Amino acid sequence: MEEYTLISEGEDLEPYVNQKVRLIAIVSNTKLPSIGNYWLTILELDDLAGQKIHIRGRVEKRVESSALPNGTIIQGRDGEYFHLVDIEYELVIED
């Protein structure tokens, strides 16, 4: 089984860029689904809003700016954003 570093909700993700992490968190019920109490966007989880999941993936950092060649803004404003890629997840069932 692959090794993933367990992180806590709200933990600074900068030290984990390009590393594999795992956490348990609730998927936000927002226009851009995210997990934890920070903006870790995971668009693939749109159908799981409000549910608790155990998720694993690799942390990616992306800089978005209207001044960049494409001017691509996904998050809605200029800034640095973290995303999980190559994700695997399962729902957390609590008794």
62-84 in b/e form (b: 16+ CB < 10 A) is eebeeeeeeeeeeeeeeeebbbb
Sign of CA dihedral 56, 58, 59, 60: negative
Q: What's the one-letter identity of residue 65?
A: S
pLDDT per position as a tens digit, 45-87: 888 889 999 999 999 888 776 665 655 555 456 777 788 889 8
Q: Which two tokens stand for residue 3?
A: 């090794």
pLDDT per position as a tens digit, 5-46: 999 888 889 999 999 999 998 888 887 778 866 666 677 788
CA distance 92 to 64: 32
- Predicted model pTM: 0.75
Average pLDDT value over all residues in the chain: 81
Spell out the CATH class of 5-91.
mainly beta
Q: What is residue 14's predicted lDDT score, i.e. its pLDDT?
A: 92
Q: What is residue 67's predicted lDDT score, i.e. its pLDDT?
A: 64
